[in-house]
Structure 1
Amino acid sequence: MIDITWGDSPLVLGLPHTGTDIPDDCLAPLNETGRAIADTDWHIDRLYSGLLEGASAVRTTVHRYVIDVNRDPSGQSLYPGQNTTGLCPLTDFDGQPIYADGQEPDAEEVERRRLAYHAPYHDALAAELDRIRAIHGFAVLYDCHSIRSRIPFLFDGPLPDFNIGTNLGATCDPQIEASVQRICEAADGYSSIVNGRFKGGWTTRHYGRPGEGLHAIQMELAQSTYLSAETPPWTYDDTRADRLRVHLANILETLSAWRPK
């Protein structure tokens, strides 16, 4: 359920949305839309694989429709007043129901899923960040995400290619944000934004405590940068991905080499 790669770099990769596993008891109440699991961060684990030797990584294999490990476990919205999906999503990113009528999880079921799937992911992630901080005196969490570039229910127009989130600079040292921003802005043929529609999910906001030696930054990639098309079967495009991986490797290497002053 939780895949962990132990490294010795200061950098820890979080992979909260690449999983496609749905236990039978969670699959049964889903409708056809839910079973299509369109809102997966398709192939993100493959995209980042091998980019930085020595990087740690924590990944859940469970799909976000079971429970979204990048949401506040209290259920509080990260983006008040904006369309979004919750801790246990009831709709997909297009606002369409993912459960059969009357089959939505109740509060007791949400809590069961939180304990079974949300808590173990964060227990593992917190433990790895603590281990790395003990080695280096600090740790940098890089939270890996991707999403379709056009989702009218969630945002207007096309999404930039690189979406950097630091909760308006609160979750990491300013030099971390600035370094990633410079790399993205210099990437020929790509667009980028800092703290735009995506300012960092619960993971980034929860672990990003620079005063305690924990720095966190989220990268939300437009899936058009590495998929053949943003439609099923969500095919990985080697040419696009290889071009993108050059810039991602630069980001990870820069973050791994960063040291607090």
Structure 2
Amino acid sequence: MTPFITHQGDSPIILGMPHGGTFVPPALTARLNEVGRALADTDWHIAQLYDGLLPGATTVQATFHRYVIDANRDPAGASLYPGQNTTGLCPTTDFDGLPIWQDGQEPGADEIAQRTVEFHAPYHAAIAAEVARVKARHGVAIVYDCHSIRSEIPFLFPGLLPVFSIGTNEGKTCADPVTQAVAQPCFAASGFDAVLNGRFKGGWTTRHYGQPETGVHAIQMELAQRAYLTAEAAPWAYSPDTAKPLRAVLAQILTSLDTLARSGALSHA
């Protein structure tokens, strides 16, 4: 299986989806334990959730699961959240801190390097190519990184996660008008809650590509899965009725970003 799937569009917006894939090579599946094989930390149905919300948006989707290698982690292995519980480039635990590999089957340094070459690097080469293509056409590009997560994970954060967690690495990865185009609909949405640069400030994708001074803006959206799944447990079923209000807000966000990027305002933001 190819490490990524790209659908090119004519919008300035690129949707990155690093954690929606569920492919694990059979040889690795055999080494996972029961916890790991459940793939519970998937961004379930993230492509379906965003499908059709912005005609013309480019999408780059990783097909491999984050337990193979996490496409939203620094390939050098540096922690994105020093001092806080998190999972690494090639995770050894799930989001609850439980081991995912059978005893003695955790990947070593050489294997991690090989997985980086085989999966992580091609996915990011695809994103980089789309950033270059889109910027050449529009003068700017906005990388909108699509994520979702269970609403309650005590190992990673206390309490109930807001439906919308927006990350810009404290304003470093995009111009303020981009932040506002995303944040305003979230904070105004009835029945939803939101936070800006809370527990999730943007992963490696956002921090790597977000260079607003060059015309490339990046922002991460982490969604609580209660807003679109039937239940936050296996079989992790998508609920169109539950998702409908959420999709309406997401469509507003993406339309606003597209309008902003086409307006020329970001060329001197």
* TM-score, length basis structure 2: 0.96
Matches for 1:87-106 after TM superposition, within 5 Å:
87-106=89-108
Match of 1:7 among 9, 18, 28: 9
Partner of 1:194: 196
Partner of 2:49: 47
Partner of 1:254: 256
Partner of 2:28: 26
Partner of 1:172: 174
Distance 1:45 1:212 in 2: 28
Name the SS for the 1:30 alignment partner. Answer: coil
Partner of 2:158: 156
Partner of 1:225: 227
Partner of 1:141: 143
Distance 2:115 2:28 in 1: 9
Name the SS for the 1:177 alignment partner. Answer: helix
What is the deviation of 1:238? 1.1
What whole-Å deviation, never above 9, does each CA across 1:111-148 have from its counterpart, x for those lacking one?
00000000000000000010000001110000000000
CA RMSD in angstroms, aligned pairs only: 0.6
The count of residues paired between Structure 1 and Structure 2 equals: 261
Matches for 1:66-85 after TM superposition, within 5 Å:
66-85=68-87
Distance 2:55 2:230 in 1: 27
Q: State the 4+ residue runs in structure 1 displaced beyond 2 angstroms.
A: none
Name the SS for the 2:137 alignment partner. Answer: helix
Match of 2:208 among 203, 206, 209: 206
Distance 1:26 1:195 in 2: 35
Name the SS for the 1:126 alignment partner. Answer: helix
Partner of 2:241: 239
Distance 2:152 2:234 in 1: 15
What whole-Å deviation, never above 9, does each CA across 1:69-128 have from its counterpart, x for those lacking one?
000000000000000000000000000000000110000000000000000000000000
What is the deviation of 1:161? 0.4
Distance 1:178 1:34 in 2: 38
What whole-Å deviation, never above 9, does each CA across 1:216-252 have from its counterpart, x for those lacking one?
0000000000011101010111111111100000000
What is the deviation of 1:181? 1.0
What is the deviation of 1:8? 0.7
Q: Percent identity?
A: 60
What is the deviation of 1:187? 0.5
Unaligned runs of 5+ in 2: none
Partner of 1:35: 37
What is the deviation of 1:25? 2.0
Partner of 1:125: 127
* TM-score, length basis structure 1: 0.99
Name the SS for the 2:244 alignment partner. Answer: helix
Distance 2:103 2:141 in 1: 45
Partner of 1:115: 117
Distance 1:50 1:59 in 2: 15
